[in-house]
């Protein structure tokens, strides 16, 4: 699932509790400021950014533009099976 947003300069879109969602720039240039990140991110048409945490994210256009926010992706069952097989069972030890 995804939602499209039209962006304008000086009118930021607020995203909260959006960890692991993907912002895709469809047109124009998008400026992204994310909570606890030392640097902002600038996206141009065709580029993507994955939101790193559940903190506040502000997305604003440089001029005007369009973005699409994709919902979080869930790991595929094949990947989960591979991870289960790849991780040693000894990781489940308790401290004594």
Residue 89 has pLDDT above 70, yes or no: no
Position 93 pLDDT exceeds 60: no
pLDDT > 70: percent of the chain: 75
pLDDT digits (tens, 9 = 90+) for 60-72: 999 999 999 998 7
For residue 42, give the 3-state DSSP assignment.
strand
DSSP state of 39: S
Considering all CA atoms of the chain, what is the largest pairwise distance in Å, rounded to the nearest integer?
60
pLDDT confidence bin for 86, thresholds 50/70/90: low
- Per the structure block, which two tokens stand in for 95? 């401290």
Give me Rg for the CA atoms of the chain.
Answer: 18
User: Is 13's pLDDT higher than 90?
Assistant: yes
pLDDT in tens, 14-40: 999 999 999 999 999 999 999 999 999
> With the C-alpha atoms ordered 52, 53, 54, 55, is the resulting torsion angle positive or negative?
negative
Is pLDDT of 90 > 50? no
pTM: 0.73
Q: CA–CA separation, 93 vs 95, rounded Å?
A: 7
């Amino acid at each position: 699932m995804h939602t499209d947003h039209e962006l304008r300069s000086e009118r930021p879109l607020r995203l909260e509790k959006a960890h692991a969602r993907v912002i895709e720039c469809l047109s124009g240039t998008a400026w992204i400021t994310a909570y606890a990140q030392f640097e902002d991110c600038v996206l141009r048409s065709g580029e993507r950014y994955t939101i790193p945490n559940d903190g506040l994210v502000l997305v604003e256009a440089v001029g005007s533009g369009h973005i699409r926010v994709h919902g979080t992706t869930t790991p595929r069952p094949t990947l989960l099976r591979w991870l289960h097989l790849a991780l040693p069972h000894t990781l489940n030890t308790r401290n004594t």
